[in-house]
Amino acid sequence: MTLPSSEEIVEDIAFFDDWEQRYQYIIDLGKSIPPMDAQLKTDDRLVRGCQSSVWLVSDEKDGKLQFQVDSDAIIVNGLLALVMAAYNDRTPAQILDFDIDAYFNQLDLERHITPTRGNGLRAIVSKIQGIARESR
């Protein structure tokens, strides 16, 4: 998956004047996530705590965690892209050391998404951090 870095995303978001433009940018980021093979969308890969269906598959290669993600909601795919920019293809230590709260604060994200989307976003982050802890 070819996404900008988390730093580039923060810079890009700051460029837009209003949240309608920012939402469109986030949705467009989500379109860059490759679709997940339908066979991988199993119940055991669903992230619990998300309003929409979100599937997460992890793999480790050369000491780095790689994730495949997908959702049935366009905006959630965009939120997944934001998370992937921070976590995908990183070592477990890098994932656990990354200040996701500061990243979300820089994006001013949680003030502009619904509480249920925010809870889902936290569930995704928690799941990935758990995978990283188990992989250390």
Q: What is the pLDDT of residues 38-86, one digit of tens each?
A: 999 999 999 999 889 999 999 999 999 999 999 999 999 999 999 999 9
Structure tokens at 88: 């995908």
**Active site residue: 50, 84, 121, 125, which one?**
50
Any catalytic annotation for residue 50? Answer: yes
Q: What is the pTM of this model?
A: 0.95
Q: Does domain 6-135 have CATH number 3.40.50.300?
A: no
Q: What is the pLDDT of residues 9-47, one digit of tens each?
A: 999 999 998 999 999 999 999 999 999 999 999 999 999
Distance CA 118, CA 108 (A): 12
What string of H, E and C letters represents the secondary structure of 4-45? CCHHHHHHHHHHCCCHHHHHHHHHHHHHCCCCCCHHHCCHHH
Question: Domain residues of the chain, as ranges?
Answer: 6-135
- Assign 1 a pLDDT band (cuts: 50, 70, 90): low
